[in-house]
Amino acid sequence: MQLSEILEALEPYFDLIQLAIFVIISIVIFSILLQIIKRHLIKKVKGKKQVSNVIVFLDLLKFIFAIFLIISVVIAYHGNLGELGFIAGLLTVAVGWALQKPIAGVVAWLIIITRRPFSIGDRVILLNTKGDISNITLTHIYLDEVGGTIDGEEQSGRTVMIPTSIIFDQQIINYTEKDEYILDEVTTAITYESNLEKAEKLIKKAVNKIMKPYWENFPQKIIQEPHIRLRFRESGIDVTARYYSLATQRNKISTDITREIFKNIKQTKDVEIAYPHAEVLLHRKK
């Protein structure tokens, strides 16, 4: 049988053969792209939870691809190929309108994974909620709340779920985007009769004692020395010691420093803590 005869015999099936080739090529190209996307995302994520999110996202892409491929095959086999773009466009608009928020969440998740405005373990403020990020899914960010039920920066025990799509229109404050160290301060009010120079030395000594074990593990670029700032008040002088601390332990560290300062002042005669009270001073006439 000659080639012309073979082609003539297959002529009634040309459309079907073209369709099969189209399907095969589409699947091959999609599989290659899927593997590239998977490798790229796997490099970006950390931990088993994030890997599972990548798998869910890839499954979502497979589902969307399968739907559009089936629609393409049906239209190509039973209808006019020119209608494909129009119908696919209508379908895209309809799906986009119905799934606007979930799609926005998935897009936000991709941005979080690739651009990394924050990662799991970071301490952030989202929607006026402070917390440590414990998980980032396709639709929600999970925060282990800090504060909330208490006045401080310790975990409350509550988990807050925030939609990932909020990154498009909300301010994000990340305590630990660059590193784990932030500037903190402890303020001690002393009386005007106190020895100010001695008070500054006592407070610096307290900070150095408490921070020394932490500072040993700090990088060299972080200043490992407290500095003092002073301010006049009605009943005394505020002596503020500022120092770099660990973001996730600042409450514990500042409490230890406050305790040490109080102990040092109690052992000193010429430095007194100021507090609101009435005092009558009598001066003798000369």
What is the pLDDT at residue 13? 58
What is the pLDDT at residue 176? 81
CA–CA dist 214, 192 (Å, integer): 33
What is the pLDDT at residue 40? 82
Contact 186, 261 (CB under 8 A): yes
What is the pLDDT at residue 14? 64
CB-based burial, 29-50: b 16+ in 10 Å, e otherwise: ebeeeeeeeeeebeeebeeeeb
What is the pLDDT at residue 70? 76
What is the pLDDT tens value at each position of the chain, 286 positions in all? 555 655 555 555 566 677 778 788 888 888 888 888 888 887 776 665 567 677 777 777 787 787 777 777 776 666 554 555 555 566 666 666 656 677 777 788 888 877 888 888 889 999 889 999 988 887 889 999 998 888 777 888 899 999 988 888 888 999 887 788 999 999 999 999 999 999 999 999 999 999 999 999 898 888 889 999 999 998 899 999 999 999 889 999 999 999 999 999 999 999 999 987 676 767 676 5
β-pairing, 181-190 vs 227-232, is unpaired
- Helix (H) / strand (E) element for 174: namely strand 173-174
Residues 6+ apart with CB under 8 A from 205: 264
In tens, the pLDDT along 89-135 reads 666 666 666 566 777 777 888 888 778 888 888 899 998 899 999 88
What is the pLDDT at residue 241? 97
Amino acid present at 170: Q
What number of other Cβ atoms are within 10 A of residue 25's Cβ?
Answer: 10
**pTM of the shown model:** 0.64
In tens, the pLDDT along 55-101 reads 777 777 787 787 777 777 776 666 554 555 555 566 666 666 656 67
